[in-house]
């Protein structure tokens, strides 16, 4: 049974695209057949983070409008052959997406993949509502920061009212993914703690991704962080989160950076 998972947040810049790429790659590494879809029409970036920006010929809008077939628009990852990307259009705007078109594309993808990950644009407008519209599950990406938590709360309200599942009286299964977490700052009381965020949002936790330079390094080279450096702290956290999505029970930890002795002696961060 295929699962449609929306990666959403309300607020921009919290790590939706990074998380979609990392979770998609981690699920594919675990043997699942995965497609990641960019819903950010006009401001696509999932192609860039996945390192497929030069391979885009057709996109989601072309498929929705019948200009291209789904098979023509899907881009197969060069590293994992069971990972695919459906890019957004860079030249059109969000109005080019229609509810009926998205419904048809998702229904078609359900017959071909185990996981369909929808990378939502920021905001609560058309692109974001269509990205969540047909979801079975949702990952709400949240930073330990007041504006992000507030927007996540708003998005949770929309997942409970504006999705097809909610309209049928069913529930979209929701998970909070906390990104850019700094346990030292949280311990000093300078950052909202995991407990604070979970209590406020009243939604179960999928994982805690530590603040790390590895995330930027991975996007610099166009590789999901789980593929670029699987041993890094954020990669381990994303891999654990992906295993939880697959139904495994994995102990919740905040992976920490492993610094080499020389770096530690020199007080230098790994470059």
Partner 1 sequence: MNLRRLLLGGRTASAPVARERLQILLAHERGLRGQSDLLGLLRAEILAVVSRHIVLDPDKVVVRMDRGKTVSTLEVDIEVPNGVERLLAAAAN
Chain residues that interact with partner 1, rule: CB under 8 A: 145-146, 149-150, 153-154, 157, 186, 188-193, 196, 200
Between 79 and 150, CB nearer to partner 1 = 150
Least distance from C-beta 195 to partner 1, angstroms?
9
Least distance from C-beta 183 to partner 1, angstroms?
12
Between 34 and 191, CB nearer to partner 1 = 191
Q: Report how many helices (DSSP H) and strands (DSSP E) the chain contains, helices first.
A: 14, 8
DSSP label at 80? Answer: -
CB 197 within 8 A of CB 149: yes
Least distance from C-beta 96 to partner 1, angstroms?
29
Between 160 and 257, CB nearer to partner 1 = 160
Least distance from C-beta 174 to partner 1, angstroms?
15
Least distance from C-beta 167 to partner 1, angstroms?
14
Q: Under DSSP, is residue 27 helix (H, G, I), strand (E, B) or coil?
A: helix
Print the SS3 string covering 125-192: CHHHHHHHHCCCEEEEEECCCHHHHHHHHHHHHHHCCCCHHHHCCCCCEEEEEEEEECHHHHHCCCCC
CA angle 126, 131, 133 (to 5 degrees): 90
Q: Which runs of consecutive H residues, i.e. helices, occur in 30-79?
A: 46-49, 60-64, 70-73
Cβ neighbors of 13 (< 8 A, separation 6 or more) are 122
Between 156 and 227, CB nearer to partner 1 = 156
CB 35 within 8 A of CB 85: yes
CA atoms of 82 and 121, how far apart (whole Å): 24
Between 200 and 230, CB nearer to partner 1 = 200
Between 62 and 129, CB nearer to partner 1 = 129
Least distance from C-beta 161 to partner 1, angstroms?
9
């Amino acid at each position: 049974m295929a699962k449609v998972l929306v990666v959403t947040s309300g607020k921009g810049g919290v790590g939706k695209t990074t998380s979609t790429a990392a979770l998609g790659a981690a699920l594919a590494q675990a043997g699942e057949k995965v497609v990641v879809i960019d819903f950010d029409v006009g401001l696509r970036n999932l192609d860039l983070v996945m390192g497929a920006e030069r391979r885009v010929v057709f996109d989601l809008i072309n498929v929705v409008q019948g200009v291209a077939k789904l098979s023509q628009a899907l881009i197969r990852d060069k590293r994992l052959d069971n990972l695919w990307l459906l890019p957004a259009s860079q030249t059109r705007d969000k109005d080019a997406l229609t509810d009926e078109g998205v419904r048809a594309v998702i229904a078609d993808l359900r017959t071909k993949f185990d996981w369909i990950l929808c990378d939502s644009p920021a905001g609560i407008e058309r692109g974001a509502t269509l990205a969540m519209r047909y979801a079975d599950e949702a990952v709400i990406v949240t930073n330990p920061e007041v504006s992000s938590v507030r927007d996540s709360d708003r998005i949770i309200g929309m997942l409970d009212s504006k999705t097809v599942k909610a309209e049928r009286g069913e529930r979209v299964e929701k998970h909070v993914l906390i990104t850019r977490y700094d346990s030292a700052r949280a311990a000093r009381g300078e950052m909202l703690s995991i407990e604070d965020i979970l209590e406020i949002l009243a939604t179960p936790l999928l994982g805690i991704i530590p603040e790390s330079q590895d995330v930027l390094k991975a996007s610099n080279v166009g590789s999901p962080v789980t593929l670029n450096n699987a041993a890094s702290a954020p990669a381990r956290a994303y891999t654990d989160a992906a295993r939880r999505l697959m139904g495994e029970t994995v102990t919740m930890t905040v992976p920490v950076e492993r610094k080499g002795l020389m770096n530690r002696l020199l007080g230098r961060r790994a470059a």
